[in-house]
Structure 1
Amino acid sequence: MKTGKIALITGATAGFGEACAARFAKEGYDLIITGRRAERLAELKQQLQEQYAVQVTTLAFDVRSREACTTALGSLSAEWQAVDVLVNNAGLALDLSTIDEGNPDDWDTMLDTNVKGLLYVSRIVMPWMKARKKGHIVNIGSTAAKTVYAKGNVYCASKAAVDALSQGMRIDLLPYNIKVTAVHPGAAETEFSLVRFKGDADRAKDVYKGFTPLSGEDVADVVYYCCALPAHVCINDLVVTPTAQANAYYIHR
């Protein structure tokens, strides 16, 4: 059943973003899905429209570019700007290396995507929510925001920034009846490790050996739960891990 609500989800071509798109569509939300892979967005649009009879609009752009964010989101009609839920999901980790041996290009990509991309998109969408005096922003963080681990340095810093920005958003948007939730997933088997290890499938698979990790659908269920609570209830900060994981460092295999 259609809700008349709109969810905007960044990084929707895979992993948490794709799962969130499916979850919100299942609940009757119309969707704005963004990502860099236009073909994958088109496929997902067709799939969700056929399966759930919702309206889906796609925006193919890279959140690292402020100009691209402004152009793409600025192209939305007033009807589509009535965003009820923004899921800032676009993000990635690259490599595992000590900070003295890290690749500055990887640093730039992580910080530009995980921190600046989140800011660029939010800066455009927040005034739309303020004008309507309602909305919910969900920022996808990580257990890496809470516990720094060896060779995680810049990735951990980027997710700690997401944590801090979520707290800042919650405070600054309080007068406008806008909810802000940070969801921090632990080990989840998506494309995350494959991207981190730059296509090394064997190395990516080893990350999840010996325990049952989260799935994208698990995280999407948590995100939707946070957004489905009564209007007067807001989960500000939520850490979700597999049962076998205590934090970013401790996993029982």
Structure 2
Amino acid sequence: MLAIAEESFGGVPALHIYDMNDGKKPLPAVLYWHGFSSAKEHNLHIAYQLAKQGVRVIMPEAKHHGERHEGLTEKQRFFQFWSIVLQSLHEIQYIYDSLEEKRLIKEGRIFAAGTSMGGILACGALAAFPWIKGGAVMMGTPAWEAYARRQVEALKQQGDLPFSGEEIEQEVQQLLSYDLSRQPELLAGRPLFFWHGREDQVIDYRDSFSFYEGIKKEREEDVYVFHLEQRAGHKVTREGMLAMTKWTAAHI
């Protein structure tokens, strides 16, 4: 039987999913982040598939989402997109320290994963924290700078850009050190899984696929995997979810 507990790790509210037969003993762990405009509980089906394979799953709540929502409009929250991502990135260390203090991670085996914005965050986590042992990215992207500049261009075309050029450039500069696509050596051979829909109109799959094409030359086995579904858009399919959870349980 699986347990679903509302807990706080390092001051960050999260759902904690694990097999009750394992109690509080150390387990391989996945930190799994939700997407933009979503909330932690919306990925419980993913946590279920991982937990029944012996993986501990921590699903943090991002700022301005779910129980941390502070009344922003959707537009206001969108303008905070990268500040939300960066805050979540910094909170990873607090969550990890709390898990380590409670001795919940087995032999340092911990992965970063997430959906959409959460997948973007997972890529940044791999760039920032060498103690993360691998990751799974569901329709996210490691190309932080390129994606941010596309967002800016889309806002310009809509005539809805409340920032000056200088402010935009300052924001983008903050992202560069976490842009895994610009420094693939930071991956350092750690296992990485990508899933994306070819028809995704929110996050183009091509940046992730180009990154994958570059790193897969290093190793021939299934350490690096890219699942591209031809008719899928910006919504993870059941097939994609099952492929990711099976791969993660095998590689963590």
**Normalization by structure 2: what TM-score?**
0.41
Higher strand share: 2
TM-score, normalised by the number of residues in structure 1: 0.41
